[in-house]
Amino acid sequence: MLRALRPVKMVSNTFNAAIAAYQYRVLVAGGCYGGLSAAINLLEKCDALDSPISVDVTIVDERDGYYHLIGSPLAMASKEYAEKAWVEYKNVKRLQRPNVSFVQGSVTNVDCENKVATISDRKTQKTREESYDFLVAATGLRRAWPVVPQALTREAYLEEVGAHADRVLNSTAPVLVVGGGAVGIEMATELKYLQPNVQVTLAHSRDKLLSAEPLPDKVKECALELVEEGGVEVLLNHRLAGSVPTKNADGSVVHEVEFTNGHKMVVSEVITAVSNSIPSTSYLPGDALDADGYVNVRPTMQLPTGVPNADLHFAIGDIIHWSGIKRCGGALHQGKMAGVNIHQIMLQQLREKEPDFMQMSEVPPMIGLAVGKNGLSYGSDEMSYGPQVMKLFFEEDLGFRIVWDHLRLGSIGA
């Protein structure tokens, strides 16, 4: 049962004062909400003074740091906030410990039967194989610019979003945001809230905002009222047909846009907030995926039983096929589940203790939305909105501090 584990030398340090007979190797693919939550919760369990377990954790991510994804609408409009929203992994204090390593790169293949992952390392530009005892897939969705910055280093990211911020803040004609989903709403209203002098128009192809979400009409109507209250012009039933860049008399570049209903306008910038997000799951076995590339998981977050060593492979966050609207809070909770459940299997292997797994229930539709100075929340058939909701759900930084402190990323040791 433990043949895959490797012996370790006798060590004594702050994080593990016990002499362990075996060293577990845990590979986490993805270093955002779900992946970091899984690693931190597992380390916390393994550090228990009464029953410490020796474990090495490797976290692989394409970026060189933790990026607060839900803060993107604010990062695109504020250079000051952009500096805060991306923290290089070397500065995430909680995970600066000898048994945690970060690899900037990507997992390109997983051999579940032999428990070997192929990793493409961005720093060395080489591919290598790494054995593991447990794998957590938390690689999220691929989203297009400008929904999510495409840069992979903090330096390049600051240049990317800084240039975008300069363009929209220096606009002479309206800024057009295309797409009335949650991202489009937040992008339009954050920009208008931070820069009231900028004209902002939000165009959506359907007759209601949030049309793709399984939410009651009262939520969608409230979202519209809050967007318009924030000073953003809303064009419903406006599907973008095309956009042609041209120059003004002063030499500045503008865009002549036309909608399928014939409406035309001239804008300084076109921000496309419509993204056909694609699950980053091509490295996982096809038997674990549904037709759209999302990972089928059991309520324990383990892969389906038909996959070799399924009990030792977990998937969490936006890549899984599960009920409910994909949210940061869901990824954090699923990460905790994966960490706790891996620890339960370790206890079973080491001490023959029957595992007591955390299990995910079906998730009803719920949402938290930042709409300028106002927040909008819906869950359990209850809707709330206003500045107090904004403060509760997002504070002043679109939830950066809330998530940072929840994971205690600024603390030393897990």
**Residue 28: which H helix or E strand, with range?**
strand 24-29
Both tokens of 313, joined, read 């492979």
11 has a pLDDT exceeding 70: no
3 has a pLDDT exceeding 70: no
Q: Which tens digit of pLDDT belongs to each residue from 17-44?
A: 443 558 999 999 999 999 999 999 999 9
Q: Which tens digit of pLDDT belongs to each residue from 275-313?
A: 778 999 999 999 999 999 999 999 999 999 999 999 999
pLDDT confidence band for 241 (50 / 70 / 90): very high
Instruction: Indicate the length of the chain as a whole number.
Output: 414
Residues in CB range of 372: below 8 A, 6 or more apart: 189, 190, 192, 193, 226, 227, 229, 230, 231, 232
The pLDDT score that the predictor gives to residue 2 is: 41
15 has a pLDDT exceeding 60: no
Q: Point out which residues pair with 376 in neighbouring strands.
A: 369, 385
pLDDT confidence band for 250 (50 / 70 / 90): confident
Q: How far is residue 381's CA from residue 378's CA, in Å, rounded to a whole number? A: 7
Share of the chain above pLDDT 90, in %: 88
DSSP secondary structure letters along 252-311 = -EEEEEEETTS-EEEESEEEE-----EES-TTS-GGGB-TTSPBP--TTSBPPTTSTTGG
Q: Which tens digit of pLDDT belongs to each residue from 182-238?
A: 999 999 999 999 999 999 999 999 999 999 999 999 999 999 999 999 999 999 999
In 3D space, the residue among 267, 257, 250 whose CA is nearest the CA of residue 173 turns out to be 267
Torsion of CA 314, 316, 318, 320, to 10 degrees: 50
Q: Which tens digit of pLDDT belongs to each residue from 67-112?
A: 999 999 999 999 999 999 999 999 999 999 999 999 999 999 999 9
Q: What is the mean pLDDT of residues 134-154?
A: 95
Q: Which tens digit of pLDDT belongs to each residue from 363-397?
A: 999 999 999 999 999 999 999 999 999 999 999 99
Q: Point out which residues pair with 23 in neighbouring strands.
A: 6
Q: How far is residue 67's CA from residue 32's CA, in Å, rounded to a whole number? A: 7
Q: How far is residue 6's CA from residue 23's CA, in Å, rounded to a whole number? A: 6
Residues in CB range of 33: below 8 A, 6 or more apart: 69, 317, 328, 331, 332, 335, 403
**Bridge-based pairing state of the strands 126-131 and 86-88:** unpaired
pLDDT confidence band for 249 (50 / 70 / 90): confident
pTM score, whole prediction: 0.92
Q: Which tens digit of pLDDT belongs to each residue from 116-134?
A: 999 999 999 999 999 999 9
Both tokens of 241, joined, read 């047909």
- Residue 69, burial from CB neighbour count under 10 angstroms (0-12, 13-18, 19+): buried
In 3D space, the residue among 244, 391, 326, 384 whose CA is nearest the CA of residue 34 turns out to be 326
Both tokens of 2, joined, read 């433990």
**Bridge-based pairing state of the strands 200-203 and 175-178:** parallel
In 3D space, the residue among 172, 413, 179 whose CA is nearest the CA of residue 274 turns out to be 179
Provide the CA 304 distance to its chain's centre, in angstroms.
23
Residue with tokens 């192809």: 205
**Average per-residue pLDDT in the chain?**
93
CA distances from 109 to 9, 34, 103, 153, 286 (A): 30, 20, 15, 23, 11
Provide the CA 202 distance to its chain's centre, in angstroms.
24
**Bridge-based pairing state of the strands 367-371 and 55-61:** unpaired
For 241, phi and psi rounded to 5 degrees?
-95, -35
The pLDDT score that the predictor gives to residue 10 is: 36
Amino acid identity for residue 220 in this structure:
K
CA distances from 52 to 24, 81, 208, 356 (A): 12, 39, 54, 18
Both tokens of 158, joined, read 């600051």
399 Rama sector, left if φ>0, alpha if ψ -120 to 50, beta otherwise: left
- Residue 146, burial from CB neighbour count under 10 angstroms (0-12, 13-18, 19+): buried
**Residue 193: which H helix or E strand, with range?**
helix 182-194
Q: How far is residue 105's CA from residue 31's CA, in Å, rounded to a whole number? A: 11
The pLDDT score that the predictor gives to residue 248 is: 82
- The answer to whether 170 and 196 are in contact (CB under 8 A) is no
How many H-runs (helices) and E-runs (strands) does the chain carry?
9, 21
